[in-house]
Structures are given as structure tokens and as C-alpha cells.
Amino acid sequence: MNVLETLRAELTISTARLLATAAVLSDDDIAAPSRLPGWTRGHVLTHVARNADSHVNLMTWARTGVVTPQYPDPAARDAGIEAGAARPAKEQLADLEESAAGLAEAIEAVPAKGWTTLVGGIRSPGHPAWYVLVRRIREIGMHHVDLGAGYACADWPEVFVRRELHDVMVSWPHELSTVSEIVVEEVKEGDKHHQIWRELGSGPVVQGDAWTLLGWLTGRSPGTGLRVMPEGSHGERPTGADAGPLPAPPPWMIRTAPPHLPITPPEEYPSTTPS
């Protein structure tokens, strides 16, 4: 199974999970605040639906080779979200279903060579069209948590967490960094292992499991349970050392896609691990 097949299967599952959550929300639930400041759950769901439409534009670009912007401009994006945010639950669900189905059809229509087309979003850089699938899965996974309707960071599938944490780290804004290293704890066959992302900037070392780290780095979690150690400790807490409180993470998603993506869809993504 190549990466396109894998990502399409993952997108189908993540979409179904979001639709299942949306299907049980009442009108009052939709009007209630989400976990995103200033947004109701209706704002979040409308954004996810309009995001699907915007990715249809990118699939059209990939299929035809004709530049088709994801959104006309940021103002049009925001206006579309505001226009649909106050709709009742039944309309929100129908919109989510229809927009997801439209995107699935657009994905199906892209020929093999189309996945190498360079497309772009509102922010730079551009990226090969196959990475649109990663971006759409990201939108669903992150905003599913943002609904505050029972789906949490701990519910993210492992494949999602590993890929998103990889993309956060390879896109790291070194000039804005608040930490020097990120240490990811993993348990394999009963043994604990560490993956270390080094030379991130100045600041303490932050260590924890992948789910908690991703939630903290993306602003979906306060990072409860993460350990803070002095710079240079490489995940080993010196006796009596106190590195202070957990710092705020640097800004997330300041780029549309990570650097150095392969143009041709790879067999798997990501295919690299930290040192």
C-alpha cells in the first residue's frame, strides 16, 4: 500500500469519526463555545466544511494543472465561516457530509501524475498535491479536538500523532524557539526508548509521550505531565536540578507544509526519525 492509499483510508476513518460526533450535537450544543477562543462549535464545523471545499479547489488544480487558489483571500475564508456558524445542527451535519463527499470525489478524479503538481494555500510554501491529504487529515484531527465534544488529544490515532509530531519538528521555527530539545518517550516491546530532536534553540529540554507533546505544541493541551529539564541534560534530570515551569511553545503552523517534501508520493510518510 503506497502513501496515497494509506492517507485516503485514514481520511475516510477520521471523517467518519468527526461526522459521528457532529451527529449527536443539538442546536444548543452547536451554539455553545468551542475550545477555540471566540468560536462556537458552529464556527468549527463550518470551517471544516469550507476547508473541504477549499481542498476541492486544490484537487482541481492537481487534476487540470490550472492554478486554482485554495481560497480567494483570507477575508473570503473568514466570511464563509461566519456566514454558516449560526446554522442549526441538522444543517451543519448535512453540510459536513456533502462537503466531505465532494472532496472524496475530487480526490478520486486526480490522475496519478496530478499528485506531483505543486499547489499552494494562503500561506507559503507550496507543496506537491499529495500532501493535501495530510493537511485535510490534520484539519479534521485538530478541529475534532477543538469542538470540545468528547474527543481529546488522547483519542488521536498513533499514525496521526507520529506524522504530525514529525511535521511540527521538521518545520520548527528556530528563531522563535523556547526550548533546546524535545525528547519523545516511546515504549516498544515493553522497553522505554527516547527520540530526541536536538538544536532547536535556547531553553530547557521538554520530555514526554508523543500525544501530550503534540497537544502542547499545537495548543490543544496545557502539557500536563511533560517534564522540564535544564538545557544540555538530553532527557536525563540531574539530581536536584530545577529547570522551572513548562514554557509556552513556539507558534504552530506558520508554514503550510514542511520543507523538502518529495515531489512524487513516497511509499510512506514520514520516512525519517530524529537522531
- Domain annotation covers residue 242: yes
- Domain annotation covers residue 176: yes
SS3 192: strand
- Domain annotation covers residue 118: yes
Q: Give the chain's domain count.
A: 2
Q: Are 141 and 178 contained in the same domain?
A: no
Q: Report the pLDDT averaged over residues 123-132.
A: 93
For residue 220, the model assigns a pLDDT of: 97
Where helices occur in 121-196 by DSSP H, the ranges are 131-146, 158-170
Q: Report the pLDDT averaged over residues 261-270.
A: 96
Q: Are 104 and 192 contained in the same domain?
A: no
Which structural domain, as residue segments, surrounds residue 139? Answer: 3-151
Place of cell 513556539: 250
Q: Which amino acid is at 248?
A: A
- Distance between CA atoms of 185 and 252, rounded to whole angstroms? 21
- Kindly indicate the confidence band of residue 82, based on its pLDDT and cuts at 50, 70 and 90: very high
Q: Which amino acid is at 170?
A: V
Q: Are 116 and 192 contained in the same domain?
A: no
Where helices occur in the chain by DSSP H, the ranges are 3-23, 27-31, 41-64, 74-84, 89-108, 131-146, 158-170, 210-217
- Kindly indicate the confidence band of residue 244, based on its pLDDT and cuts at 50, 70 and 90: confident
Q: Are 109 and 227 contained in the same domain?
A: no
- Domain annotation covers residue 58: yes
As a whole number, the mean pLDDT across the chain is 93
Residue 229 phi, psi dihedral angles, 5° rounding: -130, 160
Four-point Cα dihedral 221, 222, 225, 227, nearest 10: 120
- Kindly indicate the confidence band of residue 275, based on its pLDDT and cuts at 50, 70 and 90: very low
First to last CA, the chain: 27
Bridging pattern class, strands 127-128 and 118-119: antiparallel
Q: Are 240 and 207 contained in the same domain?
A: yes
CA distances to 15, 40, 91 from 31, in Å: 22, 6, 13
- Domain annotation covers residue 166: no
Q: Are 14 and 107 contained in the same domain?
A: yes
Neighbours of 257 (CB within 10 A): 21
Q: Are 14 and 66 contained in the same domain?
A: yes
Burial of 127 (0-12, 13-18, 19+ CB in 10 A): buried
- Domain annotation covers residue 164: no
Residue 24: CA atoms inside 13 Å, Cβ hemisphere, count? Answer: 8
Place of cell 483510508: 9
- Kindly indicate the confidence band of residue 81, based on its pLDDT and cuts at 50, 70 and 90: very high
- Domain annotation covers residue 264: no
For residue 1, the model assigns a pLDDT of: 62
- Domain annotation covers residue 28: yes
SS3 271: coil
pLDDT in tens, 198-231: 999 999 999 999 999 999 999 999 999 999 999 8
Question: Residue 241 pLDDT > 90, yes or no?
Answer: no
Q: Tell me what percent of the residues of the chain surpass a pLDDT of 90.
A: 85
pLDDT in tens, 142-167: 999 999 999 999 999 999 999 999 99
Place of cell 519538528: 169
